[in-house]
């Protein structure tokens, strides 16, 4: 999955995801950590649900865990190194407690199964993204002294009937996976090899999950897919109806179905692909106030030749036309992006085209990375990773500096406006303040008053940084 929604130049930090399951009495304890994209965090909730059915209670205390599972990311090398360091720490725990089961899940699991199991002996168990139903059996295998592996990929939606355990009980926002896998073959990306082909969930199960979340107090859902614009139910990749007796659903129609759950339920989505994002999606966003006016539209490069080498399927001109359509159909829509600098063969002139595209679009925020060659990708086979690291670093700094200016300017334009904010909870820096997001996905900090999280409040913006808005309450 292409990235998320804040300025960052490296893979997301690993975060422990845990829940205490009310009313469950069990001696078996599970500790989960998740790294990388939003899809991994969503998958961890599926894993918690599957193992809860097998009697496992998730815990915040790693010292009491019987099973430790890391849900991993393989999109960049530094993410893998972070996971390896963590596994080395767990190996010390396992040396003290031989009964402890340490497993690795997700994208890195599929790619490095042999190294992690046999050569480095860092884990007992390896499960790919489509094998989580098999986790109870794999854990039992480890109990017999065996190394347990299942990295088989599926052509069907694997977890449609599983109600994920929400790992932030009492939360306001939730991820809802609408599809898995990816049919795009971007030359820099490992996702098609680690997550398999695209397959979409039945829209009825998606709507039911969103309704259940709303009934439990959640007020925002993010519809997740590697490429949400290619969501299709009962439609082939060529647009042909598979079963004439059943209705068809595309992404725009799915968004409307979810928006109709309640006008108080905000709808977000991630990630869009420039070659697949159609005007009907934009028109649906404009139609419903509770579909947030925010799009994450990864560009990766502002140069057409680099985009061709990346196998992105669009040109600079195509991308800018999509931006123009967003501005026209959804006025005031915030746009964020992903940018990779120093891709194979990138010249200084090509880099300058990325900078010039940033000036044209004026992104509200961005994820920005140096190119990191990944094994088994098309780029590894076809191209030389020939841009020196110091050049990559210098170009990345130029991109980051420009984006920080654009983000600050974007937030400064909001000073004096009144924004509808969904309260998420206390501010991290002050007990006297709360925080929440605008529909355009900008964090706002404001006095707490007598307000309650999960409610909407109008806030007047009085100041800002490049990342945060400062507001005051309106009576």
Q: What is the CATH number for 449?
A: 2.40.50.140
Cα–Cα dist 82/89, whole Å: 11
Q: Is residue 114 part of a domain?
A: yes
The residue from 292, 307, 338 where one domain ends is 292
Q: Is residue 50 part of a domain?
A: yes
* 152 close to 113: Cβ distance less than 8 angstroms: no
Tell me, what CATH number does 207's domain have?
3.30.750.210
Task: Tell me what pLDDT residue 75 has.
Answer: 67
Task: Tell me what pLDDT residue 272 has.
Answer: 95
Q: Is residue 7 part of a domain?
A: no
Task: Tell me what pLDDT residue 236 has.
Answer: 78
Task: Tell me what pLDDT residue 40 has.
Answer: 79
Task: Tell me what pLDDT residue 332 has.
Answer: 96
Q: Which residues pair with 28 in a beta bridge?
A: 56
The residue from 292, 313, 331 where one domain ends is 292
Phi, psi of 295 (to 5 degrees): -135, 130
Q: Is residue 364 part of a domain?
A: yes
Q: Provide the number of structural domains found in the chain.
A: 4
- Whether 399 and 456 share a structural domain: no
- Whether 146 and 187 share a structural domain: no
Task: Tell me what pLDDT residue 111 has.
Answer: 73
- Whether 210 and 267 share a structural domain: yes
Q: Structural domain of residue 268, as residue ranges?
A: 170-292
- Whether 427 and 402 share a structural domain: no
- Whether 175 and 276 share a structural domain: yes
- Whether 174 and 143 share a structural domain: no
Task: Tell me what pLDDT residue 114 has.
Answer: 73
Q: Is residue 277 part of a domain?
A: yes
Q: Is residue 308 part of a domain?
A: no
23's torsion region: left (phi>0), alpha (psi -120 to 50) or beta? left
Which residues of the chain have a pLDDT value below 50? 4-25
- Whether 115 and 192 share a structural domain: no
Task: Give the distance from CA 446 to its chain's centroid.
Answer: 27
């Amino acid at each position: 999955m292409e990235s998320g929604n804040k300025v960052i130049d490296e893979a997301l930090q690993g975060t422990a995801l845990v829940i205490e399951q009310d009313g469950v009495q069990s001696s078996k304890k599970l500790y989960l950590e998740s790294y990388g994209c939003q899809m991994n965090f969503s998958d961890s909730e599926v894993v918690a649900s599957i193992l809860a059915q097998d009697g496992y209670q998730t815990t915040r205390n790693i010292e009491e865990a019987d099973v430790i599972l890391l849900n991993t990311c393989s999109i960049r090398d530094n993410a893998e190194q972070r996971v390896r360091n963590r596994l080395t720490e767990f190996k010390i725990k396992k040396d003290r407690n031989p009964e402890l089961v340490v497993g690795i899940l997700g994208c890195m699991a599929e790619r490095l199964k042999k190294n992690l199991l046999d050569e480095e002996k860092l884990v007992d168990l390896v499960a790919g993204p489509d094998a989580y139903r098999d986790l109870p059996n794999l854990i039992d295998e480890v109990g017999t002294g065996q190394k347990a592996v299942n990295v088989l990929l599926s052509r069907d939606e694997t977890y449609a009937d599983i109600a994920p355990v929400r790992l932030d009980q009492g939360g306001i926002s939730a991820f809802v996976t609408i599809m898995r896998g990816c049919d795009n073959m971007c030359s820099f990306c490992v996702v098609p090899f680690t997550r398999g082909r695209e397959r979409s969930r039945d829209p009825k199960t998606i709507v039911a999950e969103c309704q259940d979340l709303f009934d439990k107090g959640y007020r925002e859902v993010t519809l997740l897919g590697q490429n949400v614009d290619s969501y299709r139910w009962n439609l082939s990749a060529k647009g042909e109806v598979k079963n004439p007796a059943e209705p068809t659903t595309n992404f725009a129609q799915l968004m409307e179905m979810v928006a109709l759950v309640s006008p108080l339920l905000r709808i977000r989505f991630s990630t869009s692909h420039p070659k697949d994002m159609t005007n009907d999606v934009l028109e649906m966003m404009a139609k419903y106030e509770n579909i947030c006016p925010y799009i994450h539209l990864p560009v990766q490069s502002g140069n057409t030749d680099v985009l061709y080498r990346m196998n992105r399927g669009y040109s600079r001109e195509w991308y800018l036309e999509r931006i123009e359509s967003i501005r026209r159909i959804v006025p005031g829509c915030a746009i964020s992006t992903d940018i990779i600098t120093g891709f194979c063969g990138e010249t200084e002139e090509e880099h300058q085209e990325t900078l010039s595209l940033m000036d044209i679009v004026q992104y509200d925020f961005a994820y920005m990375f140096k190119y990191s060659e990944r094994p088994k990708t098309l780029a590894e086979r076809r191209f030389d990773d020939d841009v020196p690291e110091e050049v990559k670093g210098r170009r990345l700094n130029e991109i980051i500096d420009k984006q920080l200016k654009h983000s600050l300017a974007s937030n400064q334009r909001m000073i004096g406006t009144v924004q509808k904010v969904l309260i998420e909870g206390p501010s991290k820096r002050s007990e006297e303040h709360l925080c929440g997001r605008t529909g355009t996905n900008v964090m706002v900090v404001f006095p707490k008053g007598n307000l309650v999280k999960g409610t909407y409040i109008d806030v007047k913006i009085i100041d800002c940084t490049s990342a945060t808005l400062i507001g005051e309450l309106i009576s």
